[in-house]
Structure formats: C-alpha cells, structure tokens
Structure 1
Amino acid sequence: MSSAAPGFPYERLRRRPDVEAPNLFASDAADRLLADLTGDAVLEPGLVVIGDAYGALTLAAAARGAHGIRVHQDALTGERALDANAAELGLEGTYEHRPLDDSLLRGARTVLLRLPRSLDALAEIATLIAEHARADVVVYAGGMLKHMTTAMNAVLAEVFGDVTASLARQKARVLTAREPHPAAATVLDRWPERSLDADTGLWVCAHGAAFAGTTVDIGTRFLLSVLDDAVPDARTAIDLGCGTGLLAAALAASRPDLRVIATDQSAAAVASAAATAAANGVADRVTVVRDDGLAAQPDASADLIVLNPPFHIGGAVHTGIAHRLFADAGRVLAPGGELWTVWNSHLGYRPALERAVGPTRQIARNPKFTVTASHRR
C-alpha cells in the first residue's frame, strides 16, 4: 500500500488554542502509522475521522486528496486547532465537523479512530459505527502502546466480527475492525448511562467519554460536602469544567432561585451534563454550554463559580489548563463573587488563585484535597 501523504508537514501542526509547551505535541507516531496503513482508502467516499486531537489525521488525508471528510473531536479546542491548522496549510473546505451521532457515521466506509483512554468511550463509538456505517466499513483504530490494552480488542470484538492488530512501529499500533454486527450494537447501546448517587440523592448521567462516568470522583465529592456554604446569596453560578454536571445539578436542586450555567469544552461532558440536569428536574434552571473555558461569558457576570480543574493534558501531567481557567474565573466573577475550587493539595494552587482572582482562604482540607474560596474584589 502506498505511503500516506508523502512529505506531509506534521511538524507544522500546532495545538493552539490548547496549551502549547515543549513536552506537548500536535501529532505523534500513532497518527503517522494510521495515515500510512490506511493509504488510498482515505480517498474513497465515506471517510470519517474520530478523535483527531489537533487535525493530523484529517489533514494528512486531505493532503492526499480526500474531500467531504466527516470529523468528530470531543474537545472544542481540538476543533479549533484543526481549523487553524487547515487554514495554515491551505486545506480549508475538505472536512466538516459533526456530532458523535448517526449523522457522522451514516454510510461511512472508512473510519480513522484515535483510540480513547476510556473503554466506555470506545464502546459507545464502536456501537455507533456498527449501527450506522456501511456493512463493509473498515475501522482503523490507532494509539500509542503505553495507552493501549487488550481490553480494547475485546470491546471492538463485541460488535465487529474481525479484529486484527498491526505490528508496532515507534511504540504505536493500529487495530483494524471489520464485519460490524448491527444487532449486537443495538443491544449494547446504553448511552447516556445513569446512576443514582446515594450521598446526594441525585442522578448522574454520562456518555462514554465523560470523566468518571456515572461515579462521582473524590475531588468533586469533597467540594460537594461544603457547597452549601458557597456564596449563599448568589443569584448566578457557573459550574466551570462541568463534566457530568453534578455540581450544577446540586446547586440548582438546593437553591431554587439560582440560575446555573454548566460549561465544558468536551462534547461528551456537555451532553452528559444536559442529561444530568434533565434527570434531576432542573433543566429549566441549568444552561449547558460547550465552550473553551469561559470565552462566551461576559465580564463580571457571575456571583459564584465552582471548579474541579484537570491537571492532565492528554497523558501528560500539566497544570496549564487550570491556570487558564483561574484567569477566566477572575474575569467573569462579579465584584464580591467567589471562585470555589477543589484541588490536589500538592499542586499548591493558592498563590495562582490569589493572582488570578483575589484573596483566597481555605475552606476544607483532607489528606489529598484542598477546597479554597477566592474572593473577587
């Protein structure tokens, strides 16, 4: 099979508007292996790309001559990076963004997939492909070996009759799946899942790629334990980086006069948060927004912001996203408003919070986490 996109300038791809740093890259060996193994298959009608971090898969295919590529990226920053990289390389108009649903996969003949870390996310994607793609669809699912497990083969084998693995190259590998079983996929299609959290009495709903699924991660649970004390007279609140939206639902359920915005850059998180709000009967007071931080929110517009910030970017430990979210909160909080944040105590965020927002006091601390309130003057 011919080499894919000979001379494609992977080195010109950028991560912007996502965090850029010397140890963070816009493409990797798995992107290049996927492009090489698929070869001319990307030129056939019905090409779909899923999980393309910053556009490497999509644009390498477009550089070969592919058009009408349907692309789904969970992260909004990934979408915007793809658009910026396409403009830089003169490849605009070769693809279109789609949600993770039947409109993405209907009639798909070739699917390029970056394997997600979550097996639930992979299962949701696999079932959608099996239900809606062509019977002769071929799925090329690639990743770095350090992030791959044999359980991924098993997940694909639940809905595909033939799953094979490539030889490893530069610590990357590709799984190829054929012969989808739509009937099996229909039985396994369970998203969004939902579970009743016994401690809060609230339903948690989650699509496959949502962080923590239908469980409540321990940082969020610690913040929930003190949430009643967070700006009791607030009229407007934002659940920043909302994930499944449990904090937003808890605020809305306990404060009938509060208007809450739940925002996240993840498409799976936004869909999950909307389902969580609906399941708890507060959808009329929780507005769910897909956004890069708080870019869409006006200055000085919120009385309370709650935040459980990530400290990973992909597989790398990096606090860059947290610092950006702190800065966003400082801009969007109204005078007298507060940012309530839960963070791993070893990260020592308090000086950064004081710089970005204002005077910061400790609300609670346990062996792993600290909850602080940062006051906007």
Structure 2
Amino acid sequence: MNEVLNIADQTLILHRHPRRKNETFQAWDSADEYLINHFNDSELGQYITDDGQLLIINDGFGALSCYFKDFERTVVSDSFLSVGSIKLNMQRNRCGPESLLIQDSLQSLPTNAKVVLIKVPKTLSFLEYQLQQLSAVISDDTIVVAAGKVDAIHKSTLALFEKYIGTTKTSLAKKKSRLIFSLVDQREIAETEIATTWDIERQGWTIHNHANVFSRNHLDIGGRYLMDNLPEGDFTKVIDLGCGNGVVGMAAAEAYPNAQITFIDESYMAVDSARINMLKNFEEERSDNTRFVVNNGLVGFKGRSYDLILCNPPFHQQHTITDHIAWSMFNDAHFCLAVNGELVIVGNRHLDYQDKLERIFGNCELIAENKKFVILHAVKME
C-alpha cells in the first residue's frame, strides 16, 4: 500500500489512522490530488492575503492540511478519527501547528476565508449544513472549490452549491474525481433548519438529529432491534459504543435506572445529538449518571471496568466499506469489560460478526434474529 504522496513540489508520508498492520487503503484519494493541482495551476495562493486564510472542510486524513502547511488555515471535520489522522500526519511530515486551527463541525466558521477547499461528504444533509454555514461567512471575492469522486457528485449535490453559494459548474473527470466551482453570489437565503426532530411513540421520546448523524429521519431498524433485545441484569456501568443519536443508550438508561451510561462515538455531531436527546427526554437527575465522549472507540478507557457494552457497529469509514472498525470495537470491548461482563451487538446477517466474536471472546450466542439482523451476545470469561 502506497504511503508516499509525491505531488507538485512536495513529498508527503501519509497514514490512515487508526493504523492497521496490513493496510490496504491510502490516506488520500484522487480528489485530494485534483484539489492540490488545481490550487497550484490556478495560483489560488495569491488570493490568501495577510488578513485572510485558507479554509479546508472535510480533510479525510490530512493530505490537504499537510500540503498547505505554508498557509494560515482552518480545518473543519466532524470525525475524531480524521482529526487524529491530521494531527499525526502533521507531526510525521514536520508541519508546525502554529498556522493550523482544527475545529469540529459544530463550531462557527472563520469569517476571513479567502479560499475554501471542500471534500464532498458522503451525506447530502451534512453537505447542506456545511454550505449553509459557509454562505453566512463568505464574501463575493471568496473562491470556493470542492472535489469528490464522480459517483458521489449528483445533480442534487450541485443544486446545493447553487442554492447556498452561487453559479456552479464542474470540471472534467480525472482519475474518477471531479471538481466543483461555485461563484459566490451574496443573495438572501432563508435559513433552513437542517437538524431533524422526530418522535418515538413507544417510548414517548422526541429525537434530535444533527445533520451528519446516521438514520437522521427515523429510528434505525437495527437500533430498534437492539433496543428490543437488551439483556436482563443488574448492570451498573454501561457503554453505548458507536452511539449515533443515543437511542440505544437511552433504552439502557430506562432498562437499568441505576446504571452509569457512557455514550461514545467518533462523530462530534452524533455525541452532541445523544447529549441533547438525554437532556430532552429524561429527568434532570439522570444527567448526573451519564457521560458523553467523542473518541476512537474505547481507546484510553480503563480495562476490566464495565459490565455491559451495547454496540451497533458501522461497516464503513467515510466512503470506504470496511469491517476493521467493528473488529476494533469488539477488541476494545473485550479489554474494557470486567470478568463476566457482556457485549451485545446488532449486525446485518451477512457480516459474519459471530465468527469475530468467537475468536475474540471464545464464545458467542445468537439471542435473536430476523430476515435482516442478528443480535449476538458474548461474555468476557477472564
């Protein structure tokens, strides 16, 4: 797997994080290369004046952050893993942190961006949120260029750039990627509430979902299946791992009223949605027994400390389909569970999580199944 990006006048060593022994995916793609080459060919650096800066949105693993190290820049991401990759790749390539500000997607964008480079995200609603935020802080002389894989750029994608930024056109495709150019048009745009709110009637809950949270318009059927199959027991320390909007952890808070519930996700928007949902739907005193953590799984958590971990693991990272995040979650869970502690997961039938859990825990029980999902239960034996 290639870890060296030779582009324009620079050579960068870039790794995806968390690193795997036999990594098969690069830490950059052709859309990163297209953006960098266009920036140089069009001499966009000349527009970044002393009182202005470069704004980079959705840098995946740090290729853009590292390449543009000579510019004052702000990098915006909703991914804890991406932020960690950017920081580590900056160190690896000896890029000083002085001219770089990294912020999450819930923070306000800088008002002095002269050039904006965007990697098109997977979720259309998240793109709309970002473009809406961007439209409020740019001016007519701001240059906006986006890039993405050809199969990720649709008419609906371009329509959002037209709506929030201005007249939009695309480039020719190169290496299966395409650029998007938008001329800033400072027209009045009615602000739209992109976060969604919907009800779960059975529990009487109102659910808030930020723009980049999985299953944002309705209850995820996998999550519902897990909620309906929580184990019986007197659990005191419970984790909702990969919590999304927090509904599984909320069901645990209902089922185990004396337990401390920890909500963990690598998305800043997901963890904030879970926090809002607990605040809105539970009595105030329950907040003393809940924690909300943006993190790479359970990295840094104390071993042998929890008696129940609930998990609806993702099978993709950004645009890449992969099972390594699920593997990592299961290994983390085994480390963090106390002896006789339990892991309960929901997964698509075809993902073969049962074999993984057998290999890690030495045991795995199928406790429920339907045409699409299985609920699996493993116990920490030693």
TM-score, normalization: structure 2?
0.89
- Which residues in structure 2 correspond to 1:317-336 (within 5 Å)? 317-336=321-340
Percent of pairs with identical residues: 27
Equivalent in the alignment of 1:53:
60
Counterpart contact for 1:239–1:248, Cα < 8 Å: yes
Counterpart contact for 2:196–2:217, Cα < 8 Å: yes
The secondary structure found in structure 1 opposite 2:303 is coil
Equivalent in the alignment of 1:337:
341
TM-score, normalization: structure 1?
0.90
Identify if the C-alpha distance between structure 1 residues 203 and 96 changes in structure 2 by more than 3 Å, giving closer, same or farther: same
Counterpart contact for 1:359–1:375, Cα < 8 Å: yes
The secondary structure found in structure 2 opposite 1:9 is strand
**Deviation at residue 323 of structure 1 after TM alignment:** 0.7
Equivalent in the alignment of 1:220:
223
The gaps in structure 2 that reach 5 residues or longer are: 1-5
Deviation string 1:141-180 (CA, Å, 9 cap, x unpaired) is: 1101022211101112221222221221111111122325
Matches of 2:344 and 2:300, distance apart in 1: 20
Matches of 1:112 and 1:332, distance apart in 2: 40
Superposition misfits of 4+ residues, deviation over 6 angstroms: none
- Which residues in structure 2 correspond to 1:20-59 (within 5 Å)? 21-39=22-40, 40-42=43-45, 44=48, 45-59=52-66
Equivalent in the alignment of 2:89:
85
Match of 1:296 among 296, 300, 311: 300
Match of 2:11 among 9, 31, 34: 9
Counterpart contact for 2:122–2:319, Cα < 8 Å: no
Moved more, 125-134 or 199-208: 199-208
How many residues are paired up?
366
The gaps in structure 1 that reach 5 residues or longer are: none
Aligned residue identity for 2:263: A
The reply on whether 1:274 has 2:275 as its aligned counterpart is yes
Matches of 2:274 and 2:109, distance apart in 1: 22
The RMSD of aligned alpha carbons is 2.1
Counterpart contact for 1:231–1:303, Cα < 8 Å: no
Counterpart contact for 2:109–2:133, Cα < 8 Å: no
Matches of 2:186 and 2:202, distance apart in 1: 39
Identify if the C-alpha distance between structure 1 residues 200 and 38 changes in structure 2 by more than 3 Å, giving closer, same or farther: farther
The reply on whether 1:310 has 2:317 as its aligned counterpart is no
Moved more, 119-128 or 171-180: 171-180
- Which residues in structure 2 correspond to 1:95-244 (within 5 Å)? 95-101=100-106, 103-181=108-186, 183-184=188-189, 187-188=191-192, 190-227=193-230, 230-244=231-245
Equivalent in the alignment of 1:346:
350
Identify if the C-alpha distance between structure 1 residues 46 and 219 changes in structure 2 by more than 3 Å, giving closer, same or farther: same
The secondary structure found in structure 1 opposite 2:92 is helix
The secondary structure found in structure 2 opposite 1:132 is coil
Matches of 1:180 and 1:101, distance apart in 2: 24
Matches of 2:318 and 2:94, distance apart in 1: 27
The secondary structure found in structure 1 opposite 2:68 is helix
